[in-house]
Structure 1
């Protein structure tokens, strides 16, 4: 069997682990690091077939020419916590009644506790014609490490024409990202005096610009500033790259549907998203395919020795890296308690954050809890986040990447200490 150990001095070839973590993304690495900061002697293995670990919040800034792509990627081996093992395989299926995970090479791993941090699947193929069209004919997406640089190329090259930005039905990760791409592109065109020659349109499958109403007025000021035409209840369903045509299904007021075709010169797509197949088709999933967990403790609703963290969870919070940063210590603390024969003791409050990059140098820092309750980390500093701020831009560009790489992934819980469950 194939073992890739992050720290070559650690040899652990047992098939039985204290904790098995499925997924080496932000949520999985952060939770593993938080666990080991509490109990360094735990026998933990991370399961992930990927070679690279990505700082995905940075891709918006790659698409705006602020970051270089390499600033958002590191070899997976460099972020695996030193005291954890890494198996470079995919998960084939779960056998929760036997506390067992079966890998793609048919190896069986037994666990005392399982943490599922499987992320979210970008379903490019759900849009007819899109997979083969990406990266050419003006079709791009900041949801891809490979495509974000193409976004910037297209933005700088476009002198006139129509630029379309799309958003699919929720849930998606970082629900503000589709319009972040719009604002930063429009700001560039404005600075270079091209805005009057470019028709910008935002086609959103939903019925609101942003899910928390307190942030909408400031966002609408930028929609007007950039002369953006808004189209709600329009879901991108097909792309014809050769004719540069985007095909939308519009849901009308009487709930009927009609097909709308729009030509474009630049098309920025946010793909539909859903739970990965191996979760959706497993005994761990709820009726919608997400990992079925309690929204406060993040413990599985059926299997007490399973926890979820990050985008894969059925919880109704925004799927953001900021949410994973707050969830990781909660899961770590509760897993330790359960390993010691106790019940979960701490709770996640639904915190999510979306730094809405409305122009280069300014951000509306949206922070909120379950139910869309506004919850600024620094009350008063940033006008509760409802107004654009240069300080928030500095936070996004300079502070948060450092917090991600050097705190969150290292088990240092800056402003993320868990609170007791009620």
Structure 2
């Protein structure tokens, strides 16, 4: 299974075979046997998809007793399915499994929050005061949601007609608002920060539009997408197709509009015009879907591992930290060009190239097949492939589907 992650995994392998910070690993490991509970050869921060996947791979590489994962949550969620939960096509229950069931057997689960990371001493402190030392660290802390950066939230979610597919507490409220829709504006937002799954804020709009048409309410609805981005989507090929969809379905798109306040009691959402500072516009809504501002984990932001913006500072080819060679990272917490936001993709000019597509059909087109892949095939691959460290991405499938020509 290692063949999919070179040269990144190769770098980790090399690290395992050479002295770390001047101390031979074998000696360090032997000397710490007495306090084995406090010391691990491999410490993984975060039990999300990145953390669990890497802990499964590390277990096979180093042995389960040498690996620990720090994760406070009792439940592990497959979050991409929340788009379908918000549209009433899936249940929240189907998206989650107990963390204990996805943790690789034999790997130590430290059920705490990370409080402090000290890479200079190779230690991590958890919120219950426990200090854990490591030889290698993999940081997979993901993104933090910041509903509180929007005035009137999160308390506004106590009111009806407002939801958000980005949190387990608010995703069912999206479906409730959609079901109870009578007439007026259905407003969907995209914040002025990097986000995870940049397509999700639009997907719920398209699914809501389809639901309103199916239930005969679409004529009484004005569907509005207010995005802080200067583009509809960062990859030009898909953006062009999405503009066609928007036109065809009579959806209103307003660029450079950033949600700054929700007056849930009045059903009003206030947006600022990012191109004209100080200019705001109030939208009344019958339904509001909020994509919250997001940012790096606060623990990471205040640590020596972060770059100026607070993201984990990694080498993009090896996923190895630029300053601490025994630290690696994975997922949304890193400052990699596999950007969390479509705007960053623009800045990196990656959109100038052709996207690498897995299937031998135009993936910019709407297709029922793609829906079934998202709803049925991908969750299966996630639970039974990715999290067990067996699925290394779509590369081999891409080769098969394109008959080895791409």
Answering whether residue 87 of structure 2 is matched by residue 64 of structure 1, we say yes
* Contact 2:156–2:264 (Cα < 8 Å) also in 1: yes
After the TM superposition, which of the residue ranges 40-49 and 119-128 deviates more from structure 2? 40-49
- Other-structure match for 2:322: 301
Q: Which residue in 2 is equivalent to 1:366?
A: none
Q: Is the 8 A contact 1:19 1:42 kept in 2?
A: no
TM-score by length of 2: 0.84
CA positional deviation for 1:225: 2.6
* Residue 47 (str. 1) matches residue 27 (str. 2): no
The CA distance in 1 between the partners of 2:387 and 2:129, in whole Å, is 29
Residues 125-169 of structure 1 show CA distances to partners (whole Å, capped at 9, x for unaligned) of: 000001101142311101111222221121122121111100002
Q: Does 1:220 align with 2:199?
A: no
Shift of 1:108: 1.3
Task: Rate the CA distance shift 1:400–1:370 in 2: closer, same or farther, 3 A.
Answer: farther
Query: Is 1:387 aligned to 2:387, yes or no?
Result: no
SS in 2 for 1:190: helix
Tell me if structure 1 keeps the 8 A contact 2:163–2:172.
no
1:264 aligns with 2:243: no
Question: Is 2:55 the partner of 1:32?
Answer: yes
From 95, 99, 103, the counterpart of 1:76: 99
Q: Which residue of 1 aligns with 2:350?
A: 371
SS in 2 for 1:278: helix
Q: Which has the higher strand share?
A: 1
1:38–1:285 distance in 2 versus 1, CA, 3 Å: same
Q: Secondary structure at the match of 2:258?
A: strand
Alignment of 1:126 with 2:149, yes or no, is yes
| Residue from 35, 40, 45 that aligns with 1:17 | 40
Q: 1:106/1:230 Cα in 2 relative to 1: closer, same or farther (>3 Å)? A: same
* Alpha-carbon separation, structure 1, partners of 2:87 and 2:244: 20
The CA distance in 2 between the partners of 1:263 and 1:416, in whole Å, is 43
Match of 1:359 in 2: none
Q: Which one of 201, 206, 209 corresponds to residue 186 of structure 1?
A: 209
Q: Whole-Å Cα distance in 1 between the matches of residues 306 and 233 of structure 2?
A: 28
Displacement, 1:377? 4.3
User: How far apart, CA to CA, are the structure 1 residues paired with 2:218 and 2:370?
Assistant: 25
Tell me the SS of whatever aligns to 2:55.
helix
**Structure 1 unaligned blocks of 5 or more:** 1-11, 321-351, 353-368
- Contact 2:124 2:131 (8 Å CA) reproduced: yes
Once structures 1 and 2 are overlaid, which stretch shifts more, 37-46 or 85-94? 37-46
Report if aligned partners of 2:315, 2:321 keep a CA contact under 8 Å in 1.
yes
Check whether the contact 1:203–1:232 (CA below 8 A) recurs between aligned residues. Answer: yes
RMSD of aligned C-alpha atoms?
2.0
CA contact (8 A) 1:135 1:150 kept: no
Q: Secondary structure at the match of 2:157?
A: coil
How high is the TM-score relative to the length of structure 1? 0.80
Question: Alignment length, in residue pairs?
Answer: 356
Of residues 152, 167, 186, the one that matches 1:163 is: 186
Once residues 373 and 64 of structure 2 are traced to their aligned partners in structure 1, the CA distance between those partners, rounded to angstroms, is 35
